[in-house]
Amino acid sequence: MRVKKYTAPSMGEAMARVKQDLGIHAVILHSRKRKTGGIFGLLAKTIVEVTAAHDPDPGVGKPQKTVNQVNRLKMEAPANAPDESISAGEMKISSPDAIGSWLQRLQKAGLGEAETEKIKDKLFRVWYSADAEPGAKALESAVKEAVSELIPTPVPAVEARFVQVFGPTGVGKTTTLAKLAAKTVLQDKKRAAFITADTYRIAAVEQLKTYAELLEIPVGVAYSAEDIQRFRNQFSDYDHVFIDTAGRNYRNTHYVNQLQDILGDDSDSERHLVLSATSKLEDMEAVVSQFAHAQPDSLILTKFDETVTAGAAISIACSAGIPVSVMTTGQNVPDDLLSADRDRLTDRLLDWRNET
């Protein structure tokens, strides 16, 4: 099965290119019109985008399905047939109901367009390469496999000595840091310390001091990059030092630029960008763009318990190419903290009620 995407000024030209490249037995999997070029939406040109597939053995078995199962597969000719140089009988657009249902489900889950397109392409490959029409379980397996392939390989958190979290305000950085420290102390039986540079919020320091008191670990309050370095040196014999940064408006370029001085350049450190799963995909994309210079090693995705859709959180990891290390599902410390893996993230996308 060979699948290719074509763009052309008109459907007729696109179909001609498909026929020339893949032959008259090619199947049009998807087509759409979109705008390109222009300035502020003015003078933009409309182009046609077509995804086509070619079966190298059109005479046996499988193509008969695309011809005879008209009602089930809803075969139809391109909408703008008058512009075509190819007859409707030579090429057809196929949109099986089962695949359409999965695509709608992914869209409702908030998955981004680019990721949905890739999953759609895989489903069509599965559909047209099968000797018989794939069943529900086969398509579900294909969806899960496609989602898993898109997600960057997750990484563990708390491997380096200095564990630093940063991100916009309100995403749960301090609580997440406390969970990581609690796991380190209570479960892993290691020595830990806190450093907080979040001196802008009135209750932030007291919140971290409360966690530190409960865990019986030291905490250093830093008002400058020099203070942070001093505490790094002071806590250098601890197994892990957890560094909290101020949550500020990510659109404040001055604050974001200051972050680099706070994070430092220790070789024995890891940087985690914290994002809320409740955020819109567009907002997450803006956050990732603003913090790109901080070079996060992983994403920590929080507040999965506060949203019914996980698509945006999954999409940002895929589109940014940044692995996920941790997901959180509540406010309880040290509970409600899950290590990220592909199966867990995929389950969250396809069934938000899955709590394990």
Give residue 217's pLDDT: 96
Residue 40's pLDDT is: 54
Which of 200, 151, 88 is closest to 340 using CA atoms? Answer: 151
Q: Quick one: tokens of 180?
A: 């990581």
If one compares 278 and 245, the residue with the highest pLDDT of the two is: 278
Which residues, 6+ apart, have CB-to-CB distance to 98 below 8 Å?
Answer: 134, 136, 139
pLDDT at 21 over 60: yes
- Name the residue among 152, 149, 96 with its Cα closest to residue 119: 149
Split at pLDDT 50, 70, 90, the class of 132 is: confident
pLDDT tens-digit map of 207-222:
899 999 999 999 999 9
pLDDT at 5 over 50: yes
The answer to whether residue 335 scores a pLDDT higher than 90 is: no
Pairing of strands 162-166, 2-8: unpaired
The residue-averaged pLDDT of 260-276 equals 84
Q: Which pLDDT score is estimated for 184?
A: 96
Strands (E), 17-60: 27-36, 45-54
* Distant-in-sequence, close-in-space partners of 308: CB < 8 Å, separation ≥ 6: 352
Q: Are 231 and 265 in contact (CB under 8 A)?
A: no
**Structure tokens, 282:** 């567009």
Who wins on pLDDT, 77 or 32?
32
Residue 171 has a pLDDT of 92
pTM of the model: 0.73
- Assign 3-state DSSP to the chain and report helix, strand, coil percentages, each to 5: 45, 20, 35
Say what the pLDDT of residue 6 is.
Answer: 87
The more confident residue out of 322 and 252 is 322
| Euclidean distance between CA atoms 112 and 290, whole angstroms | 20
Nearest to 290, CA basis, from 261, 248, 323: 248
**How many angstroms separate the Cα of 304 from the Cα of each of 150, 180, 270, 277?**
20, 17, 23, 6
Please give the pLDDT value at position 194.
Answer: 96
DSSP state string for 154-176: P--SS-SSEEEEE-BTTS-HHHH
Residue 220's φ and ψ, nearest 5 degrees, are: -110, 130
* Cβ-contact 171, 247 below 8 angstroms: yes
Domain ranges of the chain: 1-95, 96-150, 162-350
The confidence score (pLDDT) of residue 256 equals 67
The stretch 325-350 carries a mean pLDDT of 91
Half-sphere exposure of 205 (CA within 13 A, CB side): 10
Q: Tell me the percentage of the chain whose pLDDT exceeds 70.
A: 79
User: Among the listed ranges 83-87, 214-218, 239-243, which one has the minimum average pLDDT value?
Assistant: 83-87
pLDDT of residue 121: 87
Beta strands 324-328 and 298-302: pairing type? Answer: parallel
CATH number, domain 162-350, options 3.40.50.2300, 3.40.50.970, 3.40.50.300, 3.30.70.20: 3.40.50.300
Is pLDDT at 4 greater than 90 in this prediction?
A: no
pLDDT one-digit tens code per residue, 146-196: 999 999 999 999 999 999 999 988 899 999 999 999 999 999 999 999 999
In this prediction, residue 161 carries a pLDDT of 94
